[in-house]
């Protein structure tokens, strides 16, 4: 197979991570040459492949990154300190990785001749909104530094937009579902783990609206953005989400699917407690559907079913206690700074 467009080589920062471990094999299967640029703090679950190059390096090392970009057609920038607890563990380190090095990294990619740069921002940049549909032009009201720096990188990227350097930003919903580099610190995944292995789900708050997106759908989007006509995506931002539900509704979905998958476990209890996490928003993904014809294909229930399958197969051992499934715990163990 050959790539569907003129691009032949892609560099993915954070390509050994939760989403990257799904995306990388897909691109290799399509015929791309793929460079994964990653610190490998969370390990590497990628199989050897003749068209795969793994560079174990830090995105703060701009000269090394620019060397890695030589001969690369497109960069997909996933690397970051991901989620609020991990960010708050060491705010200096997090700011360096999530913001300070971003402009040098973008400039280095452009200087190396990269033609397309895709940046993974976050729908959490919207903070709290009671708008029925939060579109891409909605004001950004981030509640945490993690959200703030995600949003602050976006105009920096677009300042480098040119006909020869096509820049686009996506604002994904919270990801869910199974990946070989598994994370059990994401809302749907947390609830499923607890339902399967504790027989009880704890909901913090419950009324907050949170959009979700299956990690396999996330990979679909990156593949689409590599193929998309530059005229449709240059300088554009796209929300990417599927189902907007409250945390309480998500807990109900999880309970029902897990009880169906594991009838021997009996009834699963949902316990609700107060929460100081006020993030709540209902994103609209109409733009990416209208401009690129993309609609997610997998539901929250699909993600829960996938997780039930891997739990039953024993692929997620010691899931309640192993720190490798939780980013902030892994960072604490590794003393990553």
Q: What is the pLDDT tens value at each position of the chain, 337 positions in all?
A: 455 557 999 999 999 999 999 999 999 999 999 999 999 999 999 999 999 999 999 999 999 999 999 999 999 999 999 988 898 899 999 999 999 999 999 999 999 999 999 999 999 999 887 888 899 999 998 889 999 999 999 999 999 999 999 999 999 999 999 999 999 999 999 999 999 999 999 998 878 877 899 999 999 999 999 999 999 999 999 999 987 888 899 999 999 999 999 999 999 999 998 877 766 778 999 999 999 999 999 999 999 999 999 999 999 999 999 999 999 999 998 764 4
Determine phi and psi for 167, rounding to 5 degrees.
Answer: -115, 135
CATH class of the structural domain 9-334:
alpha beta
pLDDT value, residue 261: 98
The 3-state secondary structure of the chain, one letter per residue: CCCCCCCCEEEEECCCCCCHHHHHHHHHHHCCEEEEEECCCCCCCCCCCCCEEEEECCCCCHHHHHHHCCCCCEEEECCCCCCHHHHHHCHHHHHHHHHHCHHHHHHHHHHCCCCEEEEECCHHHHCECCCCCECCCCCCCCCCHHHHHHHHHHHHHHCCCECCEEEEEEEECEEECCCCCCCCCCHHHHHHHHHHHHCEEEEECCCCEEEEEEHHHHHHHHHHHHHCCHHHHCCEEEEECCEEEEHHHHHHHHHHHHHHHCHHHCCCEEEEECCCCCCECCECCHHHHHHHCCCCCCCHHHHHHHHHHHHHCCCCCCCCCCHHHCHHHHHHHHCCC
For the sheet with 52-56, list strands across it: 52-56, 33-38, 9-13, 74-77, 116-120, 166-172, 236-240
pLDDT value, residue 3: 54
pLDDT value, residue 73: 98
Q: How much is the pTM?
A: 0.95
């Amino acid at each position: 197979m050959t790539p569907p467009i003129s691009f032949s080589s892609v560099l993915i920062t954070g390509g050994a991570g939760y989403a990257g471990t799904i995306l990388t094999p897909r691109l290799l299967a399509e015929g791309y040459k793929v460079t994964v640029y990653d610190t490998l703090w969370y390990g590497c679950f990628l199989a050897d492949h003749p068209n795969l190059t793994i560079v174990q390096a830090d995105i703060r090392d701009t000269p090394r990154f620019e060397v890695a970009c030589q001969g690369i057609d497109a960069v997909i920038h996933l690397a970051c300190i991901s989620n609020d607890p991990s960010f708050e563990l060491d705010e200096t380190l997090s700011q360096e990785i999530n913001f300070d090095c971003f402009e040098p990294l973008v400039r280095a990619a452009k200087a190396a001749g990269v033609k397309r740069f895709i940046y993974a921002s976050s729908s959490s940049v919207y903070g709290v909104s009671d708008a029925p549909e939060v579109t891409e032009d909605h004001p950004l009201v981030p509640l945490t530094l993690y959200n703030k720096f995600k949003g602050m990188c976006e105009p920096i990227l677009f300042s480098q937009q040119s006909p020869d350097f096509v820049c686009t930003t996506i604002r994904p919903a919270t990801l869910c579902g199974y990946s070989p580099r598994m994370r059990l610190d994401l809302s749907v995944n947390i609830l499923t783990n607890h339902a399967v292995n504790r027989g009880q789900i704890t909901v913090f708050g419950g009324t907050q609206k949170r959009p979700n997106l299956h990690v396999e759908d996330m990979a679909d989007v990156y593949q689409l953005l590599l193929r998309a006509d530059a005229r449709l995506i240059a300088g554009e931002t796209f929300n990417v989400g599927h189902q907007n539900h409250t945390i309480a509704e998500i807990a109900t979905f999880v309970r029902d699917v897990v009880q169906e998958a594991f009838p021997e476990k009996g009834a699963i209890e949902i316990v609700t407690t107060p929460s100081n996490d006020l993030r709540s928003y209902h994103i609209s993904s109409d733009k990416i559907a209208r401009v690129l014809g993309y609609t997610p294909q997998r539901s929250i229930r699909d993600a829960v079913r996938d997780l039930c399958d891997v739990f039953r197969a024993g692929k997620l051992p010691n899931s309640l206690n192993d720190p490798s499934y939780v980013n902030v715990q892994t960072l604490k163990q590794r003393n990553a700074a």
